Structure 1
Protein backbone atom coordinates (compact mmCIF):
# COMPACT_ATOMS: atom_id res chain seq x y z
CA UNK A 1 0.00 0.00 0.00
CA UNK A 2 1.34 3.43 -0.95
CA UNK A 3 2.21 5.72 1.91
CA UNK A 4 -0.43 8.32 1.03
CA UNK A 5 -3.12 5.64 0.99
CA UNK A 6 -2.37 4.77 4.60
CA UNK A 7 -2.85 8.34 5.78
CA UNK A 8 -5.89 8.86 8.04
CA UNK A 9 -8.94 10.58 6.59
CA UNK A 10 -8.76 14.36 6.90
CA UNK A 11 -10.64 15.65 9.92
CA UNK A 12 -12.92 18.09 7.99
CA UNK A 13 -14.08 15.27 5.72
CA UNK A 14 -14.72 12.95 8.68
CA UNK A 15 -16.61 15.71 10.46
CA UNK A 16 -18.87 16.37 7.47
CA UNK A 17 -19.66 12.69 7.09
CA UNK A 18 -20.45 12.27 10.78
CA UNK A 19 -22.63 15.37 10.73
CA UNK A 20 -24.65 14.06 7.78
CA UNK A 21 -25.09 10.65 9.38
CA UNK A 22 -26.11 12.05 12.77
CA UNK A 23 -28.39 14.87 11.73
CA UNK A 24 -29.75 13.48 8.46
CA UNK A 25 -31.44 16.13 6.32
CA UNK A 26 -30.66 18.89 8.82
CA UNK A 27 -26.98 18.01 8.71
CA UNK A 28 -26.93 18.08 4.90
CA UNK A 29 -28.77 21.42 4.89
CA UNK A 30 -26.36 22.90 7.42
CA UNK A 31 -23.37 21.69 5.43
CA UNK A 32 -24.84 23.24 2.27
CA UNK A 33 -25.29 26.54 4.08
CA UNK A 34 -21.73 26.51 5.42
CA UNK A 35 -20.28 25.76 1.98
CA UNK A 36 -22.52 28.13 -0.03
CA UNK A 37 -24.18 30.68 2.32
CA UNK A 38 -24.80 33.19 -0.47
CA UNK A 39 -26.87 30.67 -2.46
CA UNK A 40 -28.67 28.93 0.42
CA UNK A 41 -29.59 31.98 2.47
CA UNK A 42 -30.81 30.19 5.61
CA UNK A 43 -29.24 27.95 8.22
CA UNK A 44 -32.34 25.73 8.65
CA UNK A 45 -35.21 24.59 6.37
CA UNK A 46 -38.56 26.38 6.18
CA UNK A 47 -41.30 25.66 8.72
CA UNK A 48 -44.46 23.68 7.95
CA UNK A 49 -46.41 26.93 8.38
CA UNK A 50 -44.43 28.58 5.59
CA UNK A 51 -44.91 25.54 3.36
CA UNK A 52 -48.67 25.44 3.89
CA UNK A 53 -49.20 29.17 3.33
CA UNK A 54 -46.87 29.31 0.33
CA UNK A 55 -48.68 26.50 -1.51
CA UNK A 56 -52.27 27.50 -0.63
CA UNK A 57 -52.99 29.47 -3.85
CA UNK A 58 -51.86 26.67 -6.20
CA UNK A 59 -54.55 25.14 -8.41
CA UNK A 60 -53.26 21.57 -8.29
CA UNK A 61 -55.86 20.21 -10.68
CA UNK A 62 -54.49 22.30 -13.54
CA UNK A 63 -50.81 21.84 -12.67
CA UNK A 64 -48.74 19.70 -15.01
CA UNK A 65 -45.29 21.10 -14.26
CA UNK A 66 -44.16 22.53 -10.95
CA UNK A 67 -40.61 23.89 -10.76
CA UNK A 68 -38.60 24.73 -7.66
CA UNK A 69 -35.39 26.75 -7.43
CA UNK A 70 -33.05 25.93 -4.57
CA UNK A 71 -34.86 22.89 -3.11
CA UNK A 72 -32.16 22.26 -0.50
CA UNK A 73 -32.95 18.95 1.20
CA UNK A 74 -36.49 18.81 -0.18
CA UNK A 75 -38.50 20.64 2.48
CA UNK A 76 -41.12 21.57 -0.12
CA UNK A 77 -40.65 18.55 -2.40
CA UNK A 78 -42.80 15.99 -0.60
CA UNK A 79 -45.65 18.44 0.18
CA UNK A 80 -45.70 19.33 -3.54
CA UNK A 81 -45.59 15.69 -4.63
CA UNK A 82 -48.40 14.85 -2.20
CA UNK A 83 -50.68 17.31 -4.03
CA UNK A 84 -49.38 16.97 -7.58
CA UNK A 85 -51.51 14.99 -10.07
CA UNK A 86 -50.23 11.57 -11.07
CA UNK A 87 -49.45 12.71 -14.63
CA UNK A 88 -47.62 15.89 -13.58
CA UNK A 89 -43.92 16.53 -12.90
CA UNK A 90 -41.81 18.32 -10.32
CA UNK A 91 -38.46 19.63 -11.55
CA UNK A 92 -36.10 21.06 -8.94
CA UNK A 93 -32.97 23.03 -9.82
CA UNK A 94 -30.00 23.65 -7.55
CA UNK A 95 -26.40 24.74 -8.11
CA UNK A 96 -25.29 22.70 -5.09
CA UNK A 97 -24.40 19.13 -6.09
CA UNK A 98 -24.63 18.09 -2.42
CA UNK A 99 -28.37 18.81 -2.36
CA UNK A 100 -29.07 17.23 -5.76
CA UNK A 101 -27.30 14.01 -4.77
CA UNK A 102 -29.18 13.91 -1.46
CA UNK A 103 -32.56 14.39 -3.17
CA UNK A 104 -31.86 11.70 -5.74
CA UNK A 105 -31.02 9.29 -2.92
CA UNK A 106 -34.04 10.07 -0.76
CA UNK A 107 -36.95 10.79 -3.13
CA UNK A 108 -38.20 7.82 -5.10
CA UNK A 109 -40.99 9.18 -7.29
CA UNK A 110 -41.26 8.91 -11.07
CA UNK A 111 -42.67 12.46 -11.21
CA UNK A 112 -39.56 13.92 -9.56
CA UNK A 113 -36.54 15.26 -11.47
CA UNK A 114 -33.56 16.89 -9.73
CA UNK A 115 -31.29 19.00 -11.95
CA UNK A 116 -27.83 20.29 -11.08
CA UNK A 117 -27.86 23.70 -12.74
CA UNK A 118 -28.80 27.37 -12.50
CA UNK A 119 -32.31 28.81 -12.28
CA UNK A 120 -31.45 31.32 -15.00
CA UNK A 121 -31.37 28.35 -17.42
CA UNK A 122 -34.88 27.21 -16.49
CA UNK A 123 -36.21 27.53 -20.04
CA UNK A 124 -33.57 25.22 -21.46
CA UNK A 125 -33.90 22.82 -18.53
CA UNK A 126 -37.64 22.28 -18.84
CA UNK A 127 -37.41 21.95 -22.64
CA UNK A 128 -34.80 19.23 -22.22
CA UNK A 129 -37.39 17.32 -20.17
CA UNK A 130 -40.18 17.71 -22.73
CA UNK A 131 -42.02 20.78 -21.41
CA UNK A 132 -42.76 24.12 -23.04
CA UNK A 133 -44.00 25.98 -19.98
CA UNK A 134 -44.24 25.66 -16.20
CA UNK A 135 -47.49 26.18 -14.33
CA UNK A 136 -45.85 27.31 -11.11
CA UNK A 137 -42.31 28.15 -10.08
CA UNK A 138 -41.34 28.21 -6.40
CA UNK A 139 -38.18 29.89 -5.16
CA UNK A 140 -36.48 30.27 -1.81
CA UNK A 141 -33.33 31.72 -3.37
CA UNK A 142 -31.83 34.64 -1.43
CA UNK A 143 -32.22 37.26 -4.17
CA UNK A 144 -30.73 39.98 -1.98
CA UNK A 145 -27.35 38.20 -1.83
CA UNK A 146 -27.09 36.63 -5.28
CA UNK A 147 -24.21 37.72 -7.54
CA UNK A 148 -24.89 41.02 -9.29
CA UNK A 149 -27.25 40.69 -12.24
CA UNK A 150 -28.21 37.09 -11.53
CA UNK A 151 -31.47 37.89 -9.72
CA UNK A 152 -32.91 40.01 -12.55
CA UNK A 153 -31.96 37.35 -15.11
CA UNK A 154 -33.68 34.65 -13.07
CA UNK A 155 -36.83 36.77 -12.64
CA UNK A 156 -37.00 37.52 -16.38
CA UNK A 157 -36.47 33.87 -17.36
CA UNK A 158 -39.10 32.81 -14.85
CA UNK A 159 -41.68 35.17 -16.32
CA UNK A 160 -41.01 33.80 -19.80
CA UNK A 161 -41.24 30.17 -18.71
CA UNK A 162 -44.52 30.42 -16.75
CA UNK A 163 -47.72 29.90 -18.70
CA UNK A 164 -50.44 32.57 -18.67
CA UNK A 165 -52.48 32.01 -15.53
CA UNK A 166 -49.51 30.56 -13.65
CA UNK A 167 -47.51 32.08 -10.83
CA UNK A 168 -44.06 32.68 -9.38
CA UNK A 169 -44.01 31.84 -5.66
CA UNK A 170 -41.22 33.26 -3.50
CA UNK A 171 -40.32 33.30 0.17
CA UNK A 172 -37.45 35.33 1.56
CA UNK A 173 -36.41 37.36 4.59
CA UNK A 174 -36.10 40.63 2.61
CA UNK A 175 -38.29 42.30 -0.04
CA UNK A 176 -35.78 41.64 -2.83
CA UNK A 177 -37.77 38.75 -4.34
CA UNK A 178 -41.03 40.72 -4.15
CA UNK A 179 -39.44 43.73 -5.87
CA UNK A 180 -38.02 41.64 -8.72
CA UNK A 181 -41.31 39.81 -9.15
CA UNK A 182 -43.21 43.11 -9.35
CA UNK A 183 -41.00 44.24 -12.24
CA UNK A 184 -42.26 41.40 -14.45
CA UNK A 185 -45.55 39.95 -13.27
CA UNK A 186 -48.97 41.46 -13.77
CA UNK A 187 -50.14 41.10 -10.18
CA UNK A 188 -48.23 40.35 -7.01
CA UNK A 189 -49.90 39.21 -3.81
CA UNK A 190 -47.88 39.44 -0.64
CA UNK A 191 -47.91 37.67 2.72
CA UNK A 192 -45.90 37.17 5.87
CA UNK A 193 -45.18 34.09 7.96
CA UNK A 194 -43.99 34.80 11.52
CA UNK A 195 -43.77 31.12 12.45
CA UNK A 196 -40.52 30.55 10.62
CA UNK A 197 -36.87 30.96 11.58
CA UNK A 198 -36.43 33.72 10.57
CA UNK A 199 -39.92 35.16 9.86
CA UNK A 200 -40.22 35.47 6.10
CA UNK A 201 -41.97 37.49 3.43
CA UNK A 202 -44.08 35.61 0.90
CA UNK A 203 -45.04 36.71 -2.60
CA UNK A 204 -47.12 35.27 -5.43
CA UNK A 205 -46.52 36.85 -8.84
CA UNK A 206 -49.33 36.06 -11.29
CA UNK A 207 -49.01 36.05 -15.07
CA UNK A 208 -52.31 37.16 -16.54
CA UNK A 209 -54.14 34.77 -18.83
CA UNK A 210 -55.04 36.20 -22.27
CA UNK A 211 -58.53 37.62 -22.43
CA UNK A 212 -60.97 35.72 -24.60
CA UNK A 213 -61.73 37.51 -27.85
CA UNK A 214 -58.38 39.30 -27.86
CA UNK A 215 -56.93 40.24 -31.21
CA UNK A 216 -55.32 37.37 -33.05
CA UNK A 217 -57.42 34.66 -31.35
Structure 2
Protein backbone atom coordinates (compact mmCIF):
# COMPACT_ATOMS: atom_id res chain seq x y z
CA UNK A 1 0.00 0.00 0.00
CA UNK A 2 1.39 3.40 -1.01
CA UNK A 3 1.84 6.36 1.33
CA UNK A 4 -1.04 8.10 -0.45
CA UNK A 5 -3.34 5.14 0.16
CA UNK A 6 -2.27 5.01 3.79
CA UNK A 7 -3.04 8.71 4.16
CA UNK A 8 -6.48 8.22 2.62
CA UNK A 9 -7.17 5.30 4.92
CA UNK A 10 -6.15 7.32 7.99
CA UNK A 11 -8.20 10.40 7.05
CA UNK A 12 -11.53 9.17 8.49
CA UNK A 13 -9.81 8.35 11.76
CA UNK A 14 -8.24 11.82 11.92
CA UNK A 15 -11.60 13.46 11.23
CA UNK A 16 -13.25 11.29 13.86
CA UNK A 17 -10.59 12.21 16.42
CA UNK A 18 -10.94 15.93 15.69
CA UNK A 19 -14.73 15.80 16.02
CA UNK A 20 -14.50 13.91 19.31
CA UNK A 21 -11.92 16.34 20.69
CA UNK A 22 -14.08 19.30 19.68
CA UNK A 23 -17.08 17.84 21.49
CA UNK A 24 -15.06 17.13 24.64
CA UNK A 25 -16.80 14.80 27.12
CA UNK A 26 -19.94 14.78 24.96
CA UNK A 27 -17.91 13.25 22.14
CA UNK A 28 -16.52 10.52 24.40
CA UNK A 29 -19.99 9.84 25.82
CA UNK A 30 -21.59 9.66 22.36
CA UNK A 31 -18.92 7.28 21.09
CA UNK A 32 -19.42 5.08 24.15
CA UNK A 33 -23.15 4.95 23.53
CA UNK A 34 -22.70 4.06 19.86
CA UNK A 35 -20.19 1.30 20.64
CA UNK A 36 -21.98 -0.16 23.68
CA UNK A 37 -25.67 0.93 23.64
CA UNK A 38 -26.68 -1.95 25.94
CA UNK A 39 -24.24 -0.83 28.64
CA UNK A 40 -24.93 2.92 28.42
CA UNK A 41 -28.36 3.89 29.70
CA UNK A 42 -28.85 7.09 27.74
CA UNK A 43 -27.33 9.09 24.91
CA UNK A 44 -27.58 12.23 27.09
CA UNK A 45 -25.76 12.59 30.46
CA UNK A 46 -27.90 13.12 33.57
CA UNK A 47 -29.10 16.63 34.36
CA UNK A 48 -27.91 18.61 37.38
CA UNK A 49 -31.39 18.16 38.86
CA UNK A 50 -30.99 14.37 38.83
CA UNK A 51 -27.52 14.65 40.32
CA UNK A 52 -28.63 16.94 43.14
CA UNK A 53 -31.69 14.86 44.05
CA UNK A 54 -29.86 11.53 43.73
CA UNK A 55 -27.08 12.54 46.11
CA UNK A 56 -29.23 14.45 48.62
CA UNK A 57 -29.89 11.53 51.05
CA UNK A 58 -26.18 10.63 51.43
CA UNK A 59 -24.68 11.14 54.89
CA UNK A 60 -21.43 12.63 53.64
CA UNK A 61 -19.89 13.06 57.08
CA UNK A 62 -19.90 9.28 57.44
CA UNK A 63 -18.91 8.35 53.91
CA UNK A 64 -15.44 6.85 53.49
CA UNK A 65 -16.04 4.86 50.30
CA UNK A 66 -18.46 5.88 47.57
CA UNK A 67 -18.69 3.49 44.60
CA UNK A 68 -20.18 4.27 41.20
CA UNK A 69 -21.05 1.80 38.44
CA UNK A 70 -20.94 3.03 34.87
CA UNK A 71 -19.56 6.54 35.46
CA UNK A 72 -19.38 7.31 31.75
CA UNK A 73 -17.51 10.60 31.32
CA UNK A 74 -17.86 11.52 34.98
CA UNK A 75 -21.19 13.35 35.17
CA UNK A 76 -21.54 12.39 38.85
CA UNK A 77 -17.83 12.23 39.69
CA UNK A 78 -17.09 15.86 40.44
CA UNK A 79 -20.34 16.43 42.37
CA UNK A 80 -19.47 13.40 44.51
CA UNK A 81 -15.90 14.60 45.05
CA UNK A 82 -17.19 18.05 45.99
CA UNK A 83 -19.19 16.46 48.82
CA UNK A 84 -16.82 13.67 49.86
CA UNK A 85 -14.65 14.08 53.01
CA UNK A 86 -10.93 14.64 52.52
CA UNK A 87 -10.15 11.11 53.68
CA UNK A 88 -12.84 9.51 51.52
CA UNK A 89 -12.51 7.59 48.26
CA UNK A 90 -14.58 7.61 45.08
CA UNK A 91 -14.17 4.29 43.31
CA UNK A 92 -15.75 4.02 39.85
CA UNK A 93 -16.13 0.83 37.83
CA UNK A 94 -16.81 0.61 34.10
CA UNK A 95 -16.42 -2.03 31.40
CA UNK A 96 -15.73 0.60 28.73
CA UNK A 97 -11.96 1.24 28.41
CA UNK A 98 -12.55 4.55 26.60
CA UNK A 99 -14.48 5.93 29.57
CA UNK A 100 -11.90 4.70 32.08
CA UNK A 101 -9.03 6.17 30.08
CA UNK A 102 -10.85 9.51 29.78
CA UNK A 103 -11.60 9.66 33.52
CA UNK A 104 -8.05 8.78 34.53
CA UNK A 105 -6.78 11.51 32.23
CA UNK A 106 -9.17 14.26 33.29
CA UNK A 107 -9.75 13.69 37.03
CA UNK A 108 -6.59 14.23 39.08
CA UNK A 109 -8.13 14.19 42.58
CA UNK A 110 -6.13 11.81 44.80
CA UNK A 111 -9.39 10.46 46.25
CA UNK A 112 -10.49 9.21 42.83
CA UNK A 113 -9.87 5.69 41.50
CA UNK A 114 -11.16 4.39 38.14
CA UNK A 115 -11.25 0.62 37.55
CA UNK A 116 -11.83 -1.22 34.29
CA UNK A 117 -14.02 -4.13 35.29
CA UNK A 118 -17.48 -5.46 36.00
CA UNK A 119 -19.79 -4.23 38.74
CA UNK A 120 -20.52 -7.89 39.49
CA UNK A 121 -16.96 -8.08 40.88
CA UNK A 122 -17.44 -5.10 43.20
CA UNK A 123 -16.56 -7.07 46.35
CA UNK A 124 -13.14 -8.07 45.05
CA UNK A 125 -12.51 -4.58 43.66
CA UNK A 126 -13.41 -2.91 46.94
CA UNK A 127 -11.12 -5.24 48.91
CA UNK A 128 -8.30 -4.71 46.41
CA UNK A 129 -8.44 -1.01 47.26
CA UNK A 130 -8.23 -1.45 51.02
CA UNK A 131 -11.88 -1.51 52.07
CA UNK A 132 -14.17 -4.20 53.41
CA UNK A 133 -17.44 -2.40 52.73
CA UNK A 134 -18.79 0.53 50.73
CA UNK A 135 -20.93 3.21 52.33
CA UNK A 136 -22.89 3.98 49.18
CA UNK A 137 -23.09 2.57 45.68
CA UNK A 138 -24.48 4.61 42.79
CA UNK A 139 -25.61 3.05 39.53
CA UNK A 140 -27.03 4.27 36.25
CA UNK A 141 -26.57 0.89 34.56
CA UNK A 142 -29.58 -0.15 32.44
CA UNK A 143 -30.48 -3.27 34.46
CA UNK A 144 -33.33 -4.32 32.19
CA UNK A 145 -31.10 -4.56 29.10
CA UNK A 146 -28.03 -6.19 30.63
CA UNK A 147 -27.18 -9.75 29.52
CA UNK A 148 -29.12 -12.52 31.27
CA UNK A 149 -28.03 -13.03 34.85
CA UNK A 150 -25.81 -9.94 35.03
CA UNK A 151 -28.39 -7.62 36.59
CA UNK A 152 -29.30 -10.02 39.43
CA UNK A 153 -25.61 -10.78 40.05
CA UNK A 154 -24.79 -7.07 40.36
CA UNK A 155 -27.73 -6.43 42.68
CA UNK A 156 -26.74 -9.34 44.96
CA UNK A 157 -23.06 -8.37 45.07
CA UNK A 158 -24.00 -4.76 45.77
CA UNK A 159 -26.16 -5.72 48.74
CA UNK A 160 -23.32 -7.77 50.18
CA UNK A 161 -20.70 -5.03 49.77
CA UNK A 162 -22.72 -2.18 51.29
CA UNK A 163 -22.33 -1.63 55.03
CA UNK A 164 -25.34 -1.62 57.32
CA UNK A 165 -26.91 1.81 57.22
CA UNK A 166 -25.60 2.43 53.70
CA UNK A 167 -27.57 2.53 50.49
CA UNK A 168 -27.76 1.52 46.84
CA UNK A 169 -28.60 4.61 44.74
CA UNK A 170 -30.09 3.79 41.34
CA UNK A 171 -31.31 6.08 38.57
CA UNK A 172 -33.04 4.60 35.53
CA UNK A 173 -35.48 5.45 32.78
CA UNK A 174 -37.89 2.60 33.51
CA UNK A 175 -39.24 1.41 36.89
CA UNK A 176 -37.97 -2.14 36.29
CA UNK A 177 -34.76 -1.44 38.19
CA UNK A 178 -36.75 -1.52 41.41
CA UNK A 179 -37.51 -5.21 40.83
CA UNK A 180 -33.80 -6.06 40.89
CA UNK A 181 -33.32 -4.06 44.08
CA UNK A 182 -36.39 -5.41 45.88
CA UNK A 183 -34.96 -8.92 45.99
CA UNK A 184 -32.30 -7.69 48.42
CA UNK A 185 -33.34 -4.31 49.87
CA UNK A 186 -36.45 -4.27 52.05
CA UNK A 187 -36.64 -0.48 52.30
CA UNK A 188 -36.60 1.40 49.00
CA UNK A 189 -37.38 5.10 48.65
CA UNK A 190 -38.35 6.35 45.21
CA UNK A 191 -38.49 9.61 43.29
CA UNK A 192 -38.94 11.03 39.79
CA UNK A 193 -37.09 13.86 38.06
CA UNK A 194 -38.83 15.17 34.96
CA UNK A 195 -36.17 17.79 34.17
CA UNK A 196 -34.00 15.24 32.41
CA UNK A 197 -33.87 13.60 28.97
CA UNK A 198 -35.67 11.27 29.33
CA UNK A 199 -37.43 11.73 32.71
CA UNK A 200 -35.57 9.76 35.35
CA UNK A 201 -36.79 7.25 37.94
CA UNK A 202 -34.71 7.27 41.13
CA UNK A 203 -34.43 4.68 43.89
CA UNK A 204 -32.58 4.52 47.20
CA UNK A 205 -32.31 1.00 48.61
CA UNK A 206 -31.27 1.09 52.27
CA UNK A 207 -29.42 -1.70 54.04
CA UNK A 208 -31.06 -1.62 57.44
CA UNK A 209 -29.03 -1.64 60.63
CA UNK A 210 -30.90 -4.62 62.09
Bin the TM-score by the shorter chain.
Answer: over 0.9
CA distance in 1, matches of 2:123, 2:133: 8
Q: How does 1:19-58 map onto structure 2 within 5 Å? A: 19-58=19-58
Aligned equivalents of 1:16 and 1:50: distance in 2?
31
1:7 alignment partner in structure 2: 6
Does the CA-based 8 Å contact 1:16-1:31 persist in structure 2?
A: no
TM-score (normalised: structure 2): 0.96
Alignment of structure 1 residues 142-157 onto 2, 5 Å: 142-157=142-157
Gaps of 5+ in 1: 211-217
Aligned partners of 2:13 and 2:136: how far apart in 1? 38
Q: Distance in 1 between the 2:36 and 2:62 partners? A: 35
- CA deviation profile, 1:107-154 (whole Å, cap 9, x unmatched): 010000000000000000010000000000000001111001100000
Pair 1:18 & 2:10 matched: no
After superposition, the C-alpha distances for 1:177-199 in whole angstroms (9 at most, x for unaligned) are: 21111110120000000000000
CA contact (8 A) 1:190 1:202 kept: yes
The TM-score normalised by the length of structure 1 is: 0.93
How far, CA to CA, are the matches of 2:159 and 2:57 in structure 1? 18
Q: Return closer, same or farther for 1:20/1:206 CA change in 2, 3 Å cut-off.
A: same
Partner of 2:204: 204
Tell whether 2:200 aligns with 1:188.
no
Q: Which residue of 1 aligns with 2:112?
A: 112
Instruction: Please report how far the alpha carbon of residue 14 of structure 1 lies from its aligned counterpart in structure 2 after TM superposition.
Output: 2.6
Instruction: Name 2:166's counterpart in structure 1.
Output: 166
Supply the RMSD in Å over aligned alpha carbons: 1.4
Q: 4+ residue runs of structure 1 moved beyond 3 angstroms?
A: 2-6, 9-12
1:136 aligns with 2:136: yes
User: How much does 1:20 deviate?
Assistant: 1.6
> Whole-Å Cα distance in 2 between the matches of residues 77 and 43 of structure 1?
18
SS of residue matched to 1:171: strand
Q: Distance in 2 between matches of 1:55 and 1:187?
A: 17
The aligned counterpart of 1:64 is 64
Distance 1:5 1:115 in 2: 40
Q: Which residue of 1 aligns with 2:92?
A: 92
In structure 2, distance between residues paired with 1:5 and 1:122: 48
**Alpha-carbon deviation of 1:18?**
1.8
